[in-house]
Amino acid sequence: MFSVIFPGQGSQIVGMGKELYDKYNMVKDLFKQADDTLNFSISKLILEGPKEDLDLTANTQPAIFLISYSIFNLAKNEFKLDLNKAKYFAGHSLGEYSALSCAGYLDFSDTLKILRIRGDAMQNSVPKGQGGMVAVLGSTVDEIEKILTENKENIKAQIANDNSEGQIVLSGKTEDLEKLIQILKDNSIKNIKLPVSAPFHCELMSNAAKIMTEELNKLNFKNGQNKLISNVTGNEIKDPEELKNLLIMQIENRVRWRESVINMIENDVNHFIEIGPGKVLSGLVKRINRNVKIDTINSQSDIEGLKL
């Protein structure tokens, strides 16, 4: 039994999807539709750069979604792979929007527009330089939560991503993270400051959550074909109204990716198919459970080699 999973921010590279864009009119048509929907040439940005513009959150989020959606639909319609046989659809942060759109809960154009708004809102929720994120390696959620609890009077930081065994990401104000980095160092816990310009998935995203509440409530969510796994709970979800509420909560809350993968495996999933640029989620799944099968799909040969 397999699940389809979709990557989040950080997987983008200039030129992603170019092979499929050059070969298939279906992909060209989706890129053109994206340009028309967003009123600027996101296709040119994806295919030619510059990298610094592609890396802007408001551009990155719809760009990664466009690539994931294009690959999914190409595999399904041109190569006749029945990806909707998946037990679950899941995605990491913005990848959750790729999952719900590919599963039929939200229209392609609506997803592009909401991700453009989401990226802009998240980027501008905190003044530049005043917040950030730190990756913690080789530790456990319990250990990090203990440190945060013991220092809560002096440091306001949150676990933003519980990614895999031994990979946790923290978010907070820059000055709080600097104090936290010293405490982690004193406890011989390896950590790396991430090259991001905002503290995603924490309470500092409250302005973005307000904007997304208003914008998501304007959208028409449909009854999709597949069960989704929520980032916020790590559990399955199918009700469109509940899905909308969890997408709002996702902005300020932890991405429970490790728990999501464990839940899927405990519910008989033994094969994960990552659809989109990069191999980040495949690496995380492998760290969580080495016994499951993993396929990464981002080229024609990947699609041709996929066995469901």
* Residues labelled as active-site residues: 93, 201
Contact 272, 5 (CB under 8 A): yes
Structure tokens at 210: 């307000």
15 contacts 47 by C-beta, under 8 angstroms? yes
Instruction: Show the CA angle centred on residue 107, arms to residues 103 and 112, nearest 5°.
Output: 105
User: CA 274 to CA 68: how far, in whole Å?
Assistant: 9
Walk across the sheet containing 190-193 and list its strands. Answer: 157-164, 167-173, 131-137, 190-193
Instruction: State the Rg of the chain over Cα.
Output: 19
Q: Give the separation between CA 157 and CA 154, rounded to whole angstroms.
A: 10
- In this structure, which amino acid lies at residue 235? N
Q: In this structure, how many other beta carbons lie within 10 angstroms of the beta carbon of residue 187?
A: 10
Phi, then psi, of 124 in degrees rounded to 5: -100, 10
